[in-house]
């Protein structure tokens, strides 16, 4: 059983750094030095005169073996390892670039947080050059691999977008983008990739706002597929991020027409595919009760808005040509006649979040079934 003591001496010569390591090996039984490897590595990160530094190293080694170190303005660090079994070690020279890169890898890893699925999330913030970043990234991936991590998410803020090319070359791919960041991801293990795809659906709403006279609130758009066609349609819009369907329906009606309303039910919904940048689409038909009647149209999106008798609305030629529109009109008519029940929003909580959300259900039917 052999043990060794490692001495590390680091000298500063103007702008050059010289690091020398040598080892003394001892045998436990006789406690005598058997062998000395005087020089393991010499590192010249930015040397213009390596011969001078090599000579200085040799002079230092000779001096160190006599246990005298007299060089002025030197800084010495001595580290003693814990006892361990000796392994064969290469004494071949290490290039300055590889040694510097290895030092960076030993000293620093990317800061990360664990996700719920065995992966890590990295949010970069501090600028760094691509070479340094790649060295730290490789060391970090090796570290995460040893920990058994799977997916690696790197959130790249817009001011660090120059690092995107380096990440792609290291095997990362684009997952999604927002106005202020780009998200890239990688899969570490050899097992099948289970990273979820980017958001797959867009959510839209259509508002059926009908008053006591069976008049429906309709609009004409100045953009989109109905622009210039003279078609009157329900107010429609897209649900914002973090916005509930019932809230979005009321908001869109107010923004487009100035009419205040109260959400009552989701009457039906439709799913379609390849609609917006190859994404799928969820479209909810909502019933709203008007709280005001005065119309103030939004000129940016609309050519006009009015209250129209429901029978006149359904008599438009386009309504007879579209199976989807005919289906929607039949649902709305059945609701007006009291022959149809939709889904009302019921406030509830989840075990996974403290936020309130809505479960849309046929509350009346559920109430009857429980009575």
Report, as an integer, the average pLDDT of 319-329.
91
Catalytic residues: 255
Span 94-138, pLDDT tens digits: 445 555 555 544 558 999 999 989 999 999 999 999 999 999 999
Would you state the pLDDT for residue 352?
Answer: 74
- 274-282: long-range pairs with CB below 8 Å, 24+: 275/202, 276/202, 279/199, 279/200, 279/201, 279/202, 280/200, 280/201, 280/202, 281/201, 281/202, 281/203, 281/204, 282/201, 282/202, 282/203, 282/204
pLDDT, position 58: 56
pLDDT for the residue numbered 14:
40
Is the per-residue pLDDT at 159 higher than 80? yes
Q: Which residue has the higher pLDDT, 228 or 149?
A: 149
Higher pLDDT, 10 or 271: 271
Mean pLDDT of the chain: 79
Report the length, in residues, of the chain. Answer: 371
| pLDDT tens by residue, 205-260 | 999 999 999 999 999 998 888 888 899 999 999 999 999 999 999 999 999 999 99
pLDDT score recorded for residue 98: 53
The answer to whether 177 and 271 have CB atoms below 8 angstroms apart is: no
Q: What is the pLDDT of residues 61-89, one digit of tens each?
A: 455 444 444 444 444 443 433 343 434 34
Q: Residue 156 and residue 45: Cα distance in Å, rounded? A: 30
Question: What is the model's pTM?
Answer: 0.65
The model's pLDDT over 343-352, given as tens digits with 9 standing for 90+, comes to: 999 988 887 7
pLDDT band at 356 (very low <50, low <70, confident <90, very high): confident
């Amino acid at each position: 059983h052999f043990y060794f003591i490692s001495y590390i001496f680091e000298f500063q010569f103007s702008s050059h750094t010289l690091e020398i390591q040598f080892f003394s090996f001892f045998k436990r039984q006789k406690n005598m030095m058997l062998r000395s490897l005087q020089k393991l590595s010499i590192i010249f990160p930015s040397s213009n005169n390596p011969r001078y530094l090599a000579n200085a190293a040799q002079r230092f080694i000779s001096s160190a073996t006599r246990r005298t170190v007299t060089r002025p303005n030197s800084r010495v660090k001595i580290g003693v390892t814990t006892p361990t079994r000796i392994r064969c070690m290469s004494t071949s020279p290490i290039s300055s670039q590889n040694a510097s890169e290895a030092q960076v890898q030993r000293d620093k890893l990317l800061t990360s947080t664990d996700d719920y699925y065995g992966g890590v999330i990295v949010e970069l913030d501090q600028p760094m050059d691509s070479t340094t970043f790649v060295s730290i990234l490789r060391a970090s991936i090796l570290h995460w691999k040893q920990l058994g991590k799977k997916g690696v998410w790197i959130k790249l803020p817009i001011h660090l977008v120059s690092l995107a090319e380096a990440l792609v070359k290291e095997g990362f791919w684009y997952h999604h983008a927002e106005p202020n960041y780009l998200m890239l991801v990688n899969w570490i293990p050899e097992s099948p990739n289970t990273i979820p795809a980017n958001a797959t659906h867009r959510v839209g709403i259509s508002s059926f706002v009908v008053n006591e006279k069976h008049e429906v609130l309709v609009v004409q758009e100045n953009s989109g597929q109905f622009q210039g066609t003279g078609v009157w349609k329900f107010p429609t819009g897209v649900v914002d991020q973090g916005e509930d369907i019932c809230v979005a329906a009321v908001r869109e009606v107010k923004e487009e027409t100035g009419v205040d309303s109260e959400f009552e039910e989701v009457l039906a919904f439709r799913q379609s595919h390849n609609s917006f940048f190859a994404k799928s689409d969820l479209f909810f038909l909502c019933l709203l009760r008007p709280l005001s009647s005065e119309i103030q149209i939004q000129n940016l999106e609309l050519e006009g808005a009015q209250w129209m008798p429901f029978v006149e609305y359904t008599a438009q030629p386009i309504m007879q040509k579209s199976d989807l529109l005919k289906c929607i009109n039949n649902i709305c008519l059945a609701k007006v006649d009291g022959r149809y029940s939709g889904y009302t929003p019921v406030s509830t909580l989840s075990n996974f979040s403290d936020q309130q959300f809505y479960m849309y259900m046929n509350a009346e039917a559920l109430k009857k079934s429980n009575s």
